[in-house]
Structure 1
Amino acid sequence: MRISRLAASAILSLSAAMTQAMSDPTAVDDVSGSDIDIVLDGVVNCTDFDAGQNPTAFQFPQQQGFDRFSSRITARSTPFHMGHDRITKAGDAVTVTGKFDYGAILHKDLEGEKVRAYLTGTGKDSWEYQGEFTTNSDGKIFVPVDGQQEGQYVLRMVVMGDLTYADAYITAIEPGKKAVVFDIDETLTLSDLEQVLDYTGIEAATPRSAAGQLVQEYIDRGYHPVFVTARSYWYAKGSRRWLRETLHLPDFTLRTTLSNEIGLFETAEYKTDVLQEFQAAGMEFFRAYGNADTDAEAFHNAGIPLAQTYIIGENAGINGTQALTSEGYEQHISDVVLNTPHSGCN
């Protein structure tokens, strides 16, 4: 395993006796270099974001057309397909949900149509065919994916009727991987209104100042960014695009709700369930950022300490959380984030 220089500082403090006790004296390179090769229990790999950012070229299958006449009418509207991102233990199989609908107003589900799924990611130089699936009455498919080595993977689900598609990101982790969780609306954006403007295409949502830098600083320190938002599923593709193009972040783990009702009336429960799902896969949440009382509640339910829970906006400091009183993150980055230790991944 390879240990970054930041993580290596702990290794350099080991006693001479421990060093001499190592069975393979060649396992340690020159400690003045950029890396140390050593087998160390408890150290996990940093997320391989390159696998999601730069996947191998994709060859679309031959278009087959729709099986149903009604689908041809439905597909004349803009597609709002989404893939439900998952985090899983390395080596464990996982099932990924794909949701397919069309139309910015009605969101008509694509029913009874064929979708093919393909997987690429860490250690793969091609897209591996995962099978053909038929959407149910809710426009969904459920794709089983075999266990993968630690890393990041892209599952592409292609509608055979028109070759539109949705991507879902699967992050396979070793237990102990550390993450920071972020809400989006009014946490990384200036207000909840921004999501409406973004969705309608009037303008791209305006971020809080230094919001992109905030997330990137954690990535640079080996933390996996997790975005959990109460936005409904049809915001998923646009939300990912906004994070990539406006905040200039690599692809990530993003979770939206699968219905409006959940986002409006069950926000804290939904976010709690998502965080606990990821914890069950071995993810450890180091710190959290939100703006609402439901964020604070969900973070508390997931066991994230109040000392590591930051709430911005009118609810800053609610229920004993850490208050962020400015509109942007510059001062917080200077005071807190730049003094945050590396996660210890390699």
Structure 2
Amino acid sequence: MTVLRSNTRRLLLAAWIASGCTDGGGRGTSAAEGTGPDAGTTAGATSGTTIAATAGGDGTSGTTGGASQGGTGSSGSGGTQGADAGPEACPSVPTCDGPPPDPGAAEPWRHVTNELVVASGSPNHRIRDMFYLPGDPQWLIGKFTYGITDKDLKDEDVDVWVQRDCAGPWELLGTATTTTDGQMPPVEGVEDTGGRVYFQIPAAASLGLGRHRVHMVVKGDLSAVEGIVEVVGPGTPVFVTDVDGTLTTEENEEFTALLTGQTPDAHPFAAEALSILAAKGYRPFYLTARPEFLVERTREFVSERGFPPGVIHTTTTLTGATGDAAVLYKSDELFVLEGRDLLPRWAFGNTASDAEAYDVVGVEPLDARIFFQYSDTFGGRRIESYAELLDEFEQLPALCP
């Protein structure tokens, strides 16, 4: 099964390469990337419309978030933090790496024709990680596909499990049926392209504050996939980071790494720097313009290279995004967080599209926008090595819930 999954990913990569897609486009400023003020205005306007439809507009979250941080005060280049420094580190957030639930016996397929879908290749399922505030509708969203063409599994049953706080017993919340194209309206910005599960957790079973593990199992063959949901209070500190070239050692390293079955290397000290932020109470958000079929590869990179676990978002397309499309995708994602009073306090990138997205949504102060070996025309900070950040991050106050 491991070999089949690897071959499927490699062939899917061919479509990605043919589209010219990397994680947000190459370095440098060009007209194609839309780094001028007109492009920024367009992205912001489009994003605002999207957020009004999906985020629900929490009219009180800004005030609540400010109060929860105990006022604002300067903490140097780290931006606006709470006045009370608090402890040096926060209690660790669970890694969510325990054993999965027992799925039971496989059941017959609802449609015999789906046996052909399953026979087309190994499963490449994925779950959309999510941030939610208490009281938000809690949707668990998955995508179920097979083979080199990422063929959707439609109208088949999937069991939905959760493990609260990534500890204790697993709970079977219910069984969902994968969709046909356009069966559901977009939920949390995810369009229904078929083969998706949209499962709304009943209010009586809603997840409380903390990190929770989600596990979905296809009943026909017991193939499974996992993700996480973070339920946090308004104003919870978050950092956002791009992946390709920002954390990996080369912008296009995933191309060759996927073909050889290897995990890309990471920049020295990058994992250490981000782990310090996580220990200080900042929730990680890995925001990459990679295609959706690379969700699990991105999880493997984060885990194997020692980065702190957190919410991972790719695009929801087969080809990913570059240039203006990457700016729009990333700014839309960040506007959703802003609508929940979770706009990141720190932002990491390495390209013009990263820089423009962070500028469109207004990550402040400018010194908290950090770019690896890239000079940001909007005024963010350039670093040559993540080692430059270690002492600075160690001196930050802990912002524990």
Q: TM-score, normalised by structure 2?
A: 0.69
Q: Is the 8 A contact 2:129 2:229 kept in 1?
A: yes
Q: Which amino acid in structure 2 is aligned with residue 308 of structure 1?
A: A
Give the structure with the larger strand fraction. Answer: 1
1:190 to 234, 238, 249: 249
**Whole-Å separation in 2 of the counterparts to 1:190 and 1:86:** 27
Q: Is the 8 A contact 2:263 2:300 kept in 1?
A: no
Equivalent position of 1:95 in the other structure: 139
**Whole-Å separation in 2 of the counterparts to 1:109 and 1:47:** 40
Structure 1 residue runs without a partner (length 5+): 1-6, 13-33, 36-44
Q: Is the 8 A contact 1:47 1:152 kept in 2?
A: no
Q: Structure 1 residue 168 and structure 2 residue 227: aligned? A: yes
Shift of 1:111: 1.6
Q: Structure 1 residue 332 and structure 2 residue 392: aligned? A: no
Q: Is the 8 A contact 1:53 1:250 kept in 2?
A: no
**Whole-Å separation in 2 of the counterparts to 1:323 and 1:124:** 40
Q: Structure 1 residue 309 and structure 2 residue 309: aligned? A: no
Q: Is the 8 A contact 2:163 2:213 kept in 1?
A: yes
Q: Is the 8 A contact 2:290 2:319 kept in 1?
A: no
1:10 to 84, 87, 90: 84
Equivalent position of 1:24 in the other structure: none
Query: Which has more radius of gyration?
Result: 1
Equivalent position of 2:315 in the other structure: 257
**Whole-Å separation in 2 of the counterparts to 1:199 and 1:123:** 29
| Cα deviation 1:276-326 (Å, max 9, x = unaligned) | 21222232411100011111111122221222101123x3333211112x2
254-263 or 121-130: which moved more?
121-130
1:73 to 105, 110, 116: 116
Equivalent position of 1:209 in the other structure: 268
Shift of 1:262: 5.2
Q: Could you list the runs of 4 or more consecutive aligned residues of structure 1 that deviate by over 3 angstroms after TM superposition?
A: 7-12, 45-48, 54-57
Q: TM-score, normalised by structure 1?
A: 0.80
**Whole-Å separation in 2 of the counterparts to 1:89 and 1:47:** 20
Q: Structure 1 residue 142 and structure 2 residue 198: aligned? A: yes
**Whole-Å separation in 2 of the counterparts to 1:60 and 1:208:** 39
1:202–1:166 distance in 2 versus 1, CA, 3 Å: closer
**Whole-Å separation in 2 of the counterparts to 1:222 and 1:258:** 28
Percent of aligned positions that are identical: 23
**Whole-Å separation in 1 of the counterparts to 2:313 and 2:91:** 18
Kindly report which structure 2 residues correspond to 1:30-69, keeping only aligned pairs within 5 A, or say none.
Answer: 49-50=93-94, 52-55=95-98, 57-69=100-112
3-state SS, counterpart of residue 272 of structure 1 = helix
Q: Is the 8 A contact 1:47 1:224 kept in 2?
A: no
Q: Which amino acid in structure 2 is aligned with residue 329 of structure 1?
A: Y
- The root-mean-square deviation of aligned C-alpha atoms, in Å, is 2.8
Structure 2 residue runs without a partner (length 5+): 1-80, 181-193
Shift of 1:89: 0.5
| Cα deviation 1:112-166 (Å, max 9, x = unaligned) | 2111101112286222222211112321110112432210111111111111112
Q: Is the 8 A contact 2:334 2:343 kept in 1?
A: no
1:124–1:341 distance in 2 versus 1, CA, 3 Å: closer
Shift of 1:79: 1.4
227-236 or 130-139: which moved more?
130-139
Q: Is the 8 A contact 1:55 1:121 kept in 2?
A: no
Aligned length in residues: 304
Q: Which amino acid in structure 1 is aligned with residue 371 of structure 2?
A: I
Pick 1 or 2: higher relative contact order, CA cutoff 8 A, min separation 6.
Answer: 2
